[in-house]
Amino acid sequence: MKKTYKIAVIGGTGKVGRYIADIALQKGYQVRMLVRNPERLAHKNDRIEIVKGDIQDPELIYKLLKDCQIVINTFGQPVKEIPMYSEVTGNILEIMKELQISRYIGVTGGSLTINGDKKSVLNRAGAKMFEIFFPKMMKDKKKEWDILFHNKLIEWTIIRLPFVVDGSRTGHVKEDLKNMPGTKITNQDIAAFIINEIENQEYIHKAPFIAN
């Protein structure tokens, strides 16, 4: 019998996040979502518990996570603001430990390179371009990775993504731990993959690449 988890969702109005709640509800999970602007929610659903506020407020993160068993973070960096992925993730993980929540699933870009990767020439070139044109963002992404890597008490998975396109679920998702297996993926395939990771143990403390 499937466990009835309560899931805390961060980034629920983004390109991927807006589908996560729907798929989670279809699977029988409960959902609580942190939303800065509730009016941006594409689909209103009385079964989704909304916490209104800013992700940089630790008190609101605590309110969001309390009584949840799973944390899903698809937070998108606000345009023109200083990169804050590492700060947000660090705050989330500390509050998770305080509340004794173990499962965390997040996303990042395929441009993130970590020890053990064997990226193709094309993917290495793409990652280098991101470092040249978005140095502050990439530095912060690497800091976020270091925070995750050293948090062994949390059962985290961070999913590395190619270009994200709007599209329906294809059901055909390629997975690889060392190299990006494609150039794009639909947002609904990402959402479905994330929900499937809730009870999957394969990628705990790992950063898989996925693509269509």
Written as six digits, the tokens of 128 are 């280098």
pLDDT score recorded for residue 3: 67
pLDDT score recorded for residue 13: 80
- Arithmetic mean of pLDDT over the chain: 92
Bridge partners (DSSP) of residue 51 are 34
Residues 53 and 32: beta-carbon distance below 8 Å: no
Domain 6-211 has CATH 2.60.40.650: no
Residues 29, 20: Cα–Cα separation, whole Å: 11
Residue with tokens 């020439």: 121
pLDDT score recorded for residue 1: 44
The pLDDT tens digits for 166-198 are 999 999 999 999 999 999 999 999 999 999 999
DSSP conformational letter for 203: T
Domain positions in the chain are 6-211
pLDDT score recorded for residue 43: 64
By DSSP bridging, strand 184-186 and strand 163-165 are parallel
For the whole model, what pTM was predicted? 0.94
Query: Above pLDDT 90, what percent of the chain?
Result: 82
- Decide if pLDDT at 41 tops 80: no
The pLDDT tens digits for 78-136 are 667 788 999 999 999 999 999 999 999 999 999 999 999 999 999 999 999 999 999 99
pLDDT score recorded for residue 17: 86
